[in-house]
Chain A
Amino acid sequence: MEYFTQQLINGITLGAIYALIAIGYTMVYGIIGMINFAHGEVFMIGAFISIITFLLLGLFGITWAPLAILVALLVTMALTPLYGWALERIAYRPLRHSPRLAALITAIGMSIFLQNYVQLVQGARIKPLQPVVTGGIEIMRRDDFVVTLSTMQILIVVLTVTLMAGFTLLIQRTALGRAQRACEQDLKMAALVGVDVDRTIALTFVMGAVLASVAGLIFLLHYGVVDFHIGFNAGIKAFTAAVLGGIGSLPGAMLGGLLIGLIEAFWSAYFSVEYKDVAAFTVLIVVLIFRPTGLLGKPDIEKV
Chain B
Amino acid sequence: MNALPLLSVERLTMRFGGLMAVDDVSFAAETGHITAIIGPNGAGKTTLFNCLTGFYAPTSGLMRLAHDGGEFLLERMEGFRIAARAKVARTFQNIRLFRGMSVLENLIVAQHNRLMRASGYTLAGLIGLGVYRDAERQAVERARYWLEQVGLTALADLDAGGLPYGDQRLLEIARAMCTEPRLLCLDEPAAGLNARESAGLNALLTFIRNTHRIGVLLIEHDMSVVMSISDRIVVLDYGRKIAEGAPEAVRRDPAVIRAYLGEEEGAP
Residue numbers of A with Cβ under 8 A of B are: 166, 169-170, 173-176, 178-179, 181-182, 185-186, 188-197, 298, 304
Inter-subunit contact A189/B96 (CB<8 Å): yes
**Identity of the chain B residue whose Cβ is nearest the Cβ of A174 in the assembled complex:** B125
**Identity of the chain A residue whose Cβ is nearest the Cβ of B117 in the assembled complex:** A175
Question: Is B137 part of the binding interface, using a Cβ–Cβ cutoff of 8 Å?
Answer: no
Partner of A182, one of B53, B109, B122: B109
> Chain B residues with Cβ under 8 A from A179's Cβ?
109, 112, 116
Q: In the assembly, what is the distance between CA of A191 and CA of B85, in Å?
A: 12
**Identity of the chain B residue whose Cβ is nearest the Cβ of A195 in the assembled complex:** B112
Inter-subunit contact A188/B101 (CB<8 Å): no
> Chain A residues with Cβ under 8 A from B175's Cβ?
193
Question: Is B98 part of the binding interface, using a Cβ–Cβ cutoff of 8 Å?
Answer: yes
**Identity of the chain B residue whose Cβ is nearest the Cβ of A178 in the assembled complex:** B109
28 A-B residue pairs with Cβ-Cβ distance under 8 Å, sorted by A, are A166-B126, A174-B125, A175-B118, A178-B105, A178-B108, A178-B115, A179-B109, A182-B98, A182-B109, A185-B100, A185-B101, A186-B96, A189-B97, A189-B98, A190-B80, A191-B54, A192-B53, A192-B83, A192-B89, A192-B90, A193-B109, A193-B112, A194-B110, A194-B113, A195-B109, A195-B112, A196-B80, A197-B79
Which 4 A-B residue pairs are closest in the complex by CB-CB distance? Answer: A175-B115, A194-B84, A174-B125, A194-B83
CB A182 to nearest CB in B, in angstroms, measures 5
> Chain B residues with Cβ under 8 A from A181's Cβ?
98, 100-101, 109
Q: Is the interface of A mostly helix, strand, loop or mixed?
A: helix
Q: How many A-B residue pairs have CB under 8 A?
A: 90
Q: In the assembly, what is the distance between CA of A188 and CA of B80, in Å?
A: 9
**Identity of the chain A residue whose Cβ is nearest the Cβ of B139 in the assembled complex:** A175
Question: Is B179 part of the binding interface, using a Cβ–Cβ cutoff of 8 Å?
Answer: yes
**Identity of the chain A residue whose Cβ is nearest the Cβ of B83 in the assembled complex:** A194
Q: In the assembly, what is the distance between CA of A126 and CA of B258, in Å?
A: 81
Question: Is B35 part of the binding interface, using a Cβ–Cβ cutoff of 8 Å?
Answer: no
**Identity of the chain A residue whose Cβ is nearest the Cβ of B85 in the assembled complex:** A194
Partner of B80, one of A166, A194, A304: A194
Q: In the assembly, what is the distance between CA of A194 and CA of B109, in Å?
A: 9
Inter-subunit contact A174/B89 (CB<8 Å): no
CB A87 to nearest CB in B, in angstroms, measures 21
Q: Which of B87-107 contact A (CB under 8 A)?
A: 89-90, 94, 96-101, 105
**Identity of the chain B residue whose Cβ is nearest the Cβ of A176 in the assembled complex:** B122
> Chain B residues with Cβ under 8 A from A176's Cβ?
116, 119, 121-122, 125
Inter-subunit contact A175/B125 (CB<8 Å): yes
CB A53 to nearest CB in B, in angstroms, measures 23
Q: In the assembly, what is the distance between CA of A169 and CA of B119, in Å?
A: 14
Q: In the assembly, what is the distance between CA of A194 and CA of B105, in Å?
A: 15
Q: In the assembly, what is the distance between CA of A304 and CA of B109, in Å?
A: 23
Q: In the assembly, what is the distance between CA of A176 and CA of B124, in Å?
A: 11
Inter-subunit contact A186/B112 (CB<8 Å): no
CB A237 to nearest CB in B, in angstroms, measures 28
Inter-subunit contact A175/B119 (CB<8 Å): yes
